[in-house]
Amino acid sequence: MELRDKIIVITGGASGIGAAMARRFAAEGAKKIVCADRDLAGAQSVADEIGGVAIRTDVSLAEDISNLIETVESDIGPIDLFVSNAGIITSGGAEVDDDVWQNIWEINVLAHIRAARILVPKMLERGGGYLLNTASAAGLLAQIGSAPYSVTKHAAVSFAEWLAITHGAEGLKVSVLCPQGVDTPMIAGVDTSTVAKDGIVTPEHVADMCVEAIDDERFLILPHPVVGDYIKQKGADPERWISGMQRWQAMLAAGAS
């Protein structure tokens, strides 16, 4: 799909990957870009820069997602591309409290589902549309030190895959973005040794990769191409993969001590 003259909504559009996408998509000639974020001032700053629109949206709230979509569709026009980009990370494992698990589930998974629940019927009725869901390489592999992030990002990848399988023949296009480390506010409070092994890329690089993937209508977007090799290794020999990850975790723990 060409981005020129398209109406695009990006959640998490105030900073990081979302802001970089907004700028890059605008450079491609998008008709209107909506930056949605809890940080309305940040979203407005990006929107002002590109001639877009900012809408305050907390994607953990179903009513905010519904309001975002219906406002854009009624006031601006039919959404051609919806980017479910907002996400969070938290450290820990099974001991993490239920309310923390629920919050990350709402943002990293249910936000994608709730947007699709409203948009997919509209897009199919119009003959097609595009969903780009931001997940993570952790959704294909694992995130050492964070069970909630690993679990929710796996779910996000799985849901995107299901959408592509179920509705692809009806005209719905789906891409899922799975980067490793990206230089965004999200990694500011994270031990970067867990994400920096294969390099930390810029949000602008990620946005460039997204433009290429959307143009090709490609499902899997890997800003770190080595992740594709890891997927093959994991699939070919899961036992060896787990052993290797255990060794990597032990090395990280030893380096931190």
Bridge partner list, 8: 33, 81
Q: HSE on the CB side for 101, CA within 13 Å?
A: 9
230 is catalytic: no
Strand, coil or helix: 131:
strand
Give the separation between CA 150 and CA 87, rounded to whole angstroms.
12
| DSSP code of residue 170 | G
- Structure-token match 């255990």, residue found: 246
Beta-strand relationship, 81-84 and 7-11: parallel
Catalytic residue among 149, 151, 194, 207: 149
Read off φ and ψ for residue 85, nearest 5 degrees: -110, -25
- Residue 168: count other Cβ atoms within 10 Å of its Cβ: 14
Q: In what order do the strands lie in the sheet with 220-221?
A: 53-56, 32-37, 7-11, 81-84, 129-134, 172-177, 220-221
Active site residues: 149
